[in-house]
Structure formats: C-alpha cells, structure tokens
Amino acid sequence: MDLTTFLQQLINGASLGSMYALIAIGYTMVYGVLRLINFAHGDIMMVGAFFTFMATAAGLPFTLAVLLGILGSVIVGVLTDKIAYKPLREAPKISLLITAIGISFFLENLFNVIFGGVPKAFSAPDYLTKIFHLGDVYLPITVIIIPIVTVAILSGVLWVLYRTKYGMAIRALAFDIPTVKLMGIDADRIITLVFALGSALAAVGGIFYAVSYPSIDPLMGVIVGLKAFAAAVLGGIGSVTGAVIGGFILGFTEIFVVALFPELGGYKDAFAFFFLILVLLFRPTGIMGEDLERSRF
C-alpha cells in the first residue's frame, strides 16, 4: 500500500469510527442507567433520519429538518421508555430486553408499512457534502465535522455525568433506583431525561449517517445498531469514553481488514467480532469497563 492509499484509508477509518462512536455513546448511556441493552436504539436512529428526510421532502430548510428529526427521535425514545420500559423497572432484565426487541420490530415494521422497504435518497445541503483534496487524498468534510461533533458531545456528556448533580444521579441510578428516590430525586424524570438525551444522540448519529451514506430505509439501524453495541462493549459497556474508543477501534479494524486483505473483505464483520472476542478474552469487561456484576463474598 502506498502512502497516499494508506493516508486515505486512515481517513476512511476515522470517518467510519467516529460514526460508530457517535452512535455508541447513546447506546452506552442508556445502558448506563438501566442496565438495558436497548436493541431499539438503532431504530430510534432510523426514526431520526426518517423524520429529517420527511421534513426536507416537505421543503423545510435543512437545519429546521434536523431539529425536527431530533425532536421526533426524542419523542419516540421517551414514549418507548414510558410504554415499554417503565412498567418493567422491577421486572427481570431479560423481560425488558424482549420488550426492547419488540419495540425494535414494531418501529421497523411500522416504517415499512408506512414508507415501504425501498431505500430513500437522503439529500443533504452542499456544505455537508463538500470534499477537500489534499494532493491525491480526498477528505470529505464530514470526516472533519463528525469527529468534532463526537468529541464535543463526549465532553458534554462527561461534563454532565461527572460535574453536575444530575450526572451523579444518573450514575447512581445504574446501581440503585430505590435509594436514589430516597434522596428526594424523581428517578423516573431523570430516566426520561436520559432517554431523551440518548435518543437525541441517536438522531444526531442517524442524521450524520444519512448525510454520509445518503440512503435510508426502515432497517438501516439494525446493522449499525449492532456495530455500535459491539463498539460499546469493546470499550466497556456503560463507559462513555470507552464507547468512543471502541467505536474508533471498530472503524479502523473494518477499514484496514478490507484495505490490507481485499480477498478477505467478506470476513470484514467476522473480523470486527473476532477482534472484540479477543479483547474480551484478555479484558473480560472491555477496555474501560468495570465489572458491574462483581460480587463481594
């Protein structure tokens, strides 16, 4: 591989990785409070992209459409929590998981019934599709914007989690909801806030995803959701910083497997998981994760 191609691949990796990272943050945040693998996260992301798509199709300016997309996701996310998760706060975690899968099926099929399964072309404004040329290396503007947004969101989320009382409450919730209530805190409201935030992040991820890969369909969230989940686990699920690291690692792995061994391109996804398993063998709780089920004797 010559230098140009290598640099290009590096950029490609960063681009894909930051996308995974962005989506993994929302994933891991919801996991952080509810200990729930929110399988519907990818679908909430899809909802965000679709709402934005509809708004632009209706002729609204892009910025407004994005806001509507985020709003749509937030509403769906919060409703999901209210309807499908809240009644099960004290039930076994696995029941929650099933309702999460149920919500996921529901959203996918609902959007399929409404919009059909044919991919829709997502149109983004020109300033988001610009491409810079650095010699022979091509640098799409999203490769610059998305990591910046990711890092900004990461710092924002970290600030909330570690510097505000709400963040403390969020971290405490993960371990002990009843006792959080005993502090005079409206735990359900905080969880709703987390869902709103997580869904907003999903929507932002979904919109950027749609800008980068302008084809959206009701099942677009499935594979990305799974990858983001893998990224979150790789980084140590529940750790926001870990999610970002995991996202980038996954992005680079995927790109370089294909780049270095084009014949093995078919194994790309296998490599991502293989790598994940390898890491977990040595660090059973991911890169930044703590053992949440650690039991003292």
Partner 1 sequence: GVVLPLTGPIAAFGQTSKGGLDIAYEQNHKLKNGDNVKLVVLDDRGDKVEAATAVKRLLNKNNATVILGEVASGNSMAMAPVAEKAKTPMITHASTNPRVTKGKKYVTRACFIDPFQGAVMAKYALDNGMKTAVVVTDAKQDYSVGLSKAFKKAFTAGGGKILKTVLINSGDKDFNAQVSTIKSQHPDIIAFTGYYPEAALMVKQARAMGIKTPFIGADGVGFPELVKIGGKAAEGFMYTDHFNEAAASSPEAKAYVEAFHKKYNKPADSMGALAADAYGMILSAMNQCIDEGKAPTDKECVNDKLRNTKGYKGVTGVINIDKDGNAVKSAVINEVKDGKFAYKTTVNP
Partner 2 sequence: MLELKDLTVHYGVIAAVRGIDMKIEPNTIVTLIGSNGAGKTSTLNAIVNSVKKKGTVIFDGKDISKEPTHQIVQDGLALVPEGRRVFINLSVDENLRMGAFNNDENFERLRAEMYRLFPRLDGKKQQLAGTLSGGEQQMLAIARALMSEPKMLMLDEPSLGLAPKIVGEVFEIITELKKSITILLIEQNAFAALKIADYGYVLENGSIALEGESENLLGNDEVRKKYLGG
Partner 3 sequence: MKNAIIKMLLILLTLGIISWANQTLDSYTLSILNNIGIFAILALSYNLINGVTGQFSLEPNGFVAIGAYVTALFLIPAADKIDMFALVDPAPIVLEMQARFLPAIFAGGVAATLVALFLSFPVFRVRGDYLAIVTLGFGFIIRIFALNTPAYTNGAMGLNDIPANANFLWIGSLALFTLIVMLHIVYSKYGRAMKAVRDDEDAATAMGINTFKIKTVAFMTSAFFEGVGGGLLASFLTTITPDQFSFLLTFQLLIIIVLGGLGSMTGALVATVLVMGSMEWLRFLDEDMVLFGMHTGEHPGMRMVVFAILLIIMMLFARKGLFGDRELPEFIKAKLKRKDEV
Spatial contact of 27 and 38, defined as CB atoms under 8 Å apart? yes
Told to check if 144 binds partner 2 by CB under 8 A, we report no
CA distance 143 to 73: 24
Exactly one of 59, 92, 184, 266 binds partner 1 (CB under 8 A); which one? 266
How far is Cα 258 from Cα 249, in angstroms, rounded to an integer? Answer: 14
Give the DSSP H or E segment for 144. Answer: helix 141-163
List the structure tokens of 243: 């999610």
- When CB distances are held under 5 to 8 angstroms depending on the partner's kind, the choice from partner 3, partner 1, partner 2, none that residue 1 binds is partner 1
**# chain residues binding partner 1, by CB under 8 A:** 48
Q: Residue 49's closest CA among 24, 19, 69?
A: 69
Q: Measure the CA–CA gap between 50 and 79, rounded to whole angstroms.
A: 17
Residue located via tokens 């040595």:
282
Which of partner 2, partner 3, partner 1, none does residue 285 bind to, with CB < 5 to 8 Å depending on kind?
Answer: partner 3
Q: Give the number of C-alpha atoms closer than 13 A to the C-alpha of residue 5, restricted to the C-beta side.
A: 7
Encoded tokens for 38: 């929110």
Q: Does residue number 215 form part of the binding site for partner 1 (CB under 8 A)? A: yes
Shortest separation between residue 29's beta carbon and partner 3, angstroms: 15
Q: Which of 64, 183, 270, 277 binds partner 2 (CB under 8 A)?
A: 183
Question: Could you say whether residue 268 binds partner 1 (CB under 8 A)?
Answer: yes
Query: What residue 26 binds from partner 1, partner 3, partner 2, none (CB within 5 to 8 A, per partner kind)?
Result: none
Q: Which stretch binds partner 1 (CB under 8 A): 45-53, 54-62, 249-257, 287-295?
A: 249-257
Q: Residue 295, CB half-sphere, CA atoms under 13 Å: how many?
A: 1
- On whether the CB atoms of residues 21 and 150 are closer than 8 A, the answer is yes
Tell me the two tokens of residue 80: 């999901």
Binding at 132: pick from partner 1, partner 3, partner 2, none (beta carbon under 5-8 Å per type):
none
- Are 35 and 174 spatial neighbours (Cβ–Cβ below 8 Å)? yes
Q: Which two tokens stand for residue 147?
A: 């990591």
Q: Please answer whether residues 12 and 5 qualify as being in contact, where contact means their C-beta atoms are separated by less than 8 angstroms.
A: no
Place of tokens 């099933």: 98
Binding mask of the shown chain, residues 79 to 108, with x at each position contacting partner 3 by CB under 8 A: ----xx--xx--xx-xx-xxx-xxx-xx--
Per CB under 8 A, the segment of 71-79, 185-193, 217-225, 271-279 that binds partner 2 is 185-193
Site for partner 3, rule CB under 8 A: 31, 37, 83-84, 87-88, 91-92, 94-95, 97-99, 101-103, 105-106, 109-110, 112-113, 226, 229-230, 233, 237, 264, 266-267, 269-270, 273-274, 276-277, 280-281, 284-286, 292-293, 295, 297
Q: Where does this chain bind partner 1 (CB under 8 A)?
A: 1-2, 5, 8-9, 12, 15-16, 19, 109, 112, 116-122, 131, 133, 136, 138, 140, 209, 212-215, 217-220, 222-224, 254-259, 262-266, 268-269
Residues interacting with partner 2, by CB under 8 A?
Answer: 165, 168-169, 171-172, 174-176, 178-187, 290
